[in-house]
Structure 1
Amino acid sequence: MRSVWPLVLPVCSALLSANLSAQPTETTPATSAPEMPTEAMNSCLQASIPSAAATMTVAELRQGCQLLYEQQLQSAGESELQEQQVSSEDSTGDKGERLLKRRMTLEALNRANRFMLTPHKINYFFPASYTRTPNESPYRDNDNESLSDLSKAEADFQLSIKILLREDIFGDNGHLYLGYTNHSLWQLYSDADSAPFRETNHQPELILSFTNDWEFLGFRNVLNDVILNHQSNGQGGLLSRSWNRVMLNSVFERGNFAFALNPWYRLPESAQEYPGDPDGDDNPDITDYMGKFEFNAAYQRKDDIYSVMLRNALDGDNRGALELGWSFPISSNLRGQLKYFKGYGHSLIDYNVDLEVFALGIVFTDLF
């Protein structure tokens, strides 16, 4: 398994992180959030200046402090707030732009804070993840008896964070981030063994991010990333899976709808001299199954978010994957999600196996 510096960012990079607050409908008058008290605003401004992005204006700092104040009120249950005061134009469906701006403002407010780890992709815990045909062949081929009889139900969770390394590399744009995503599959309900983690995928990334504000066919391009990505399951021998990619990620939005295009180029590796060779390519055919691009899209309707992910190899075999998601509010800081996955690459150990997976659980940081 050979490692090159890595990076990946599915639509989450620009969309993911802040939980949804309530959204007014066309038949319900929008209410404005209470203003942050002057003394509290001044204290917030003083505390925020050292860690805020150098290019933030006083107005943007004030907006960030107001958003933090609204989040505090929501968490405390002291008020039913809307995200911002809604004008008559907002009833036509420009909510998505405000949600993206809200998230990016909060990120900029804490960009230089070394005590702050920013959510990157979706963070979730699914205690119920079910497939009728778990992939047991890699463990049987490797004489791993403890995982040769997998439970059809398991727990699935993901932790994804990023931290700013350098900002404004090119004038007032170009921010360099270090990202890390951990995706684990846990045989929590296994009767044959002591609930082992059967697979953990590590995905470190180096992300050069550019904000943008141009329109194409009515969609506003808000973010473009150049990514160096490594993904590995941390295993050795015949269970080892890994690859390195150079990726692009472009995020577009229009009203309550947002999507991201994420093509990549796999960096070539030398062939293995023998099975399990640690210096050779663990999975030379991975792009035949994991594809050459990913498309992510999300639509917000009231408090619900509907999402879709598509991957494809763009070849005659038409391999890839489809994922459908529906997330809904549970509390002021937690959301539930129901997810359906069909195709290849549910995890690296399963990259060449067609699986159908149903999952239900909790999302800590969602698309908006």
Structure 2
Amino acid sequence: MRLSHVPLCLLIFCASLFADEPPEPDRTELSKEEMDQCLRIAVTVAGKDMSIEGLRDVCNTLARGDSSEREAISQALAAIGNDGTEQDKDASGNSHLLERRLNMEALNRANRFLLTPHKRNYLLPVSYQENRNTAPYADAGTSLASQQSTEVEFQLSVKILIREGIFGDNGHLYMAYTNHSLWQAYYRDISRPFRETNHQPELILSFVNDWNIFGFRNVLNEVMITHQSNGQSGDLSRSWDRIMVNSVFERGSFAFAFNPWYRIPESEGDGPDDPTGDDNPDIHKYMGNFELSAAWHRKDNIVSLMLRNNLRSDNRGAVELGYSFPVSSTVRGYLKVFNGYGHSLIDYDHHTNAIGLGITFTDLF
């Protein structure tokens, strides 16, 4: 597992953002208008037993934070607007899918007791995969050379704000982390090991936008430095570093994102046993050069699609279909179907068919 030369660049970049700023006068509470607007947002995510006084206390606690916290509240309230609803509609009266999520993130990032969801967070107690990829484990001499077809799959993905408003009132810097794990939880004979865990830390510079292009509204653009690794060594090691761009568009009940990337080159090393060499020099041939995602929202159900391709004649890549539906106020059912390469890093060059059923805790919107 290697991070190449990226960490030094990240440290230098982050350090330059924390220059001293003059202190602002202390502020103890929100104005009446700000409080009313804060309550409109907070009530949508409050627990059933939360009182109005409790919500007021939360809003005032945020107001007593530092200047960056108060700025986040101000931006969230401004986005909601005076009537709390008009900003969530387009000219045709359709709801903006991502508007509410961005507004809630703007408010929540001011609260140091919260971690903001990044990608979907889900648990699939049943994930079935045919045509198992056992060759890497057999070559490494591990017990996972024998596997069960049904396992547990889950993903944990969060982000935290580092710096807000780098370019005036826009440009927010986040650190994010995504953990995707495949767990042989039902295989007692080999002590229920985790078959594969992929770690993906990211540095994200995010810009909120409001451009209209061919009838679609470009709501978000991001530049990311991403490392992805399975945390293994030797023959089981898989990792790569990328510079990525992500642009998100929406129109009515439909949203899509275009996510191209450039792989940061690594040295070849002195052979497959050299830990300083590239674990997977051909990964781009299977994982592709971009990802295209789309989602459609109807009656509180969400249908999603992910396409990944290398735009080569051999046509390797992947497609993933998702369907989520309401179960309770905090949990949604989630069905996921995957076909192609890169279901996990250990399977990057192995064609996989997988289907999983479970729940998602944080959805796309």
TM-score (norm 1): 0.81
**RMSD of equivalent CA atoms:** 2.7
Q: Is the 8 A contact 2:246 2:257 kept in 1?
A: yes
Alignment partner of 1:112 out of 89, 110, 113: 110
1:1-368 aligned at under 5 Å gives the runs 1-4=1-4, 5=6, 42-49=56-63, 50=65, 52=69, 54=71, 56-57=73-74, 60=77, 94-95=94-95, 97=96, 99-144=97-142, 146-368=143-365
The offset of 1:191, in angstroms, is: 4.1
| Inter-CA distance 58–168: structure 2 relative to 1 (3 Å threshold) | closer
Query: In the aligned structure 2, how far is the partner of 1:90 from the partner of 1:213?
Result: 11
Q: Is the 8 A contact 1:169 1:175 kept in 2?
A: yes
Query: In the aligned structure 2, how far is the partner of 1:138 from the partner of 1:209?
Result: 38
Q: Is the 8 A contact 1:2 1:280 kept in 2?
A: no
Q: Is the 8 A contact 2:76 2:107 kept in 1?
A: no
| Inter-CA distance 275–59: structure 2 relative to 1 (3 Å threshold) | closer
The offset of 1:63, in angstroms, is: 5.2
Aligned partner of residue 103 in structure 2, secondary structure: helix
The offset of 1:219, in angstroms, is: 0.4
Which 4+ runs in 1 deviate beyond 3 A?
36-45, 55-59, 61-64, 84-87, 89-93
Give the equivalent residue in structure 2 for 1:28.
Answer: none
Query: In the aligned structure 2, how far is the partner of 1:220 from the partner of 1:86?
Result: 13
Identity of aligned residues (%): 59
Q: Is the 8 A contact 1:149 1:192 kept in 2?
A: no
Query: In the aligned structure 2, how far is the partner of 1:266 from the partner of 1:295?
Result: 17
Q: Is the 8 A contact 1:337 1:360 kept in 2?
A: yes
Residues 2-55 of structure 1, C-alpha deviations (whole Å, 9 max, x = no match)? 20448xxxxxxxxxxx9xx9xxxxxxxxxxxxxx99866654432232274516
Alignment-mate amino acid for residue 277 of structure 1: D
| Inter-CA distance 208–335: structure 2 relative to 1 (3 Å threshold) | same
| Inter-CA distance 348–58: structure 2 relative to 1 (3 Å threshold) | closer
Aligned partner of residue 190 in structure 2, secondary structure: coil
| Inter-CA distance 300–341: structure 2 relative to 1 (3 Å threshold) | same
Query: In the aligned structure 2, how far is the partner of 1:38 from the partner of 1:345?
Result: 48
Query: In the aligned structure 1, how far is the partner of 2:79 from the partner of 2:349?
Result: 50
| Inter-CA distance 53–232: structure 2 relative to 1 (3 Å threshold) | farther
Query: In the aligned structure 2, how far is the partner of 1:112 from the partner of 1:180?
Result: 19
Q: Is the 8 A contact 2:269 2:276 kept in 1?
A: yes
| Inter-CA distance 257–279: structure 2 relative to 1 (3 Å threshold) | same
Query: In the aligned structure 1, how far is the partner of 2:76 from the partner of 2:314?
Result: 53
Alignment-mate amino acid for residue 131 of structure 2: T
| Inter-CA distance 53–266: structure 2 relative to 1 (3 Å threshold) | farther
| Inter-CA distance 93–286: structure 2 relative to 1 (3 Å threshold) | farther
Query: In the aligned structure 2, how far is the partner of 1:119 from the partner of 1:44?
Result: 20
Query: In the aligned structure 1, how far is the partner of 2:51 from the partner of 2:360?
Result: 32
| Inter-CA distance 280–93: structure 2 relative to 1 (3 Å threshold) | farther
Query: In the aligned structure 1, how far is the partner of 2:326 from the partner of 2:165?
Result: 36
Aligned partner of residue 328 in structure 1, secondary structure: strand
Residues 320-359 of structure 1, C-alpha deviations (whole Å, 9 max, x = no match)? 0000011001111100111110000000000000000010
The offset of 1:112, in angstroms, is: 3.1
Q: Is the 8 A contact 2:123 2:153 kept in 1?
A: yes
| Inter-CA distance 349–41: structure 2 relative to 1 (3 Å threshold) | closer
Query: In the aligned structure 1, how far is the partner of 2:345 from the partner of 2:213?
Result: 35
Give the unaligned 5+ runs of structure 2: 8-40, 45-49
Query: In the aligned structure 2, how far is the partner of 1:44 from the partner of 1:62?
Result: 19
Give the equivalent residue in structure 1 for 2:17.
Answer: none
Q: Is the 8 A contact 2:246 2:259 kept in 1?
A: yes
Q: Is the 8 A contact 1:53 1:109 kept in 2?
A: no
| Inter-CA distance 41–340: structure 2 relative to 1 (3 Å threshold) | closer
The offset of 1:62, in angstroms, is: 10
Report how many residues are paired. Answer: 320
| Inter-CA distance 284–329: structure 2 relative to 1 (3 Å threshold) | same
Aligned partner of residue 99 in structure 2, secondary structure: helix
Give the unaligned 5+ runs of structure 1: 7-17, 22-35, 68-83
The offset of 1:90, in angstroms, is: 7.6
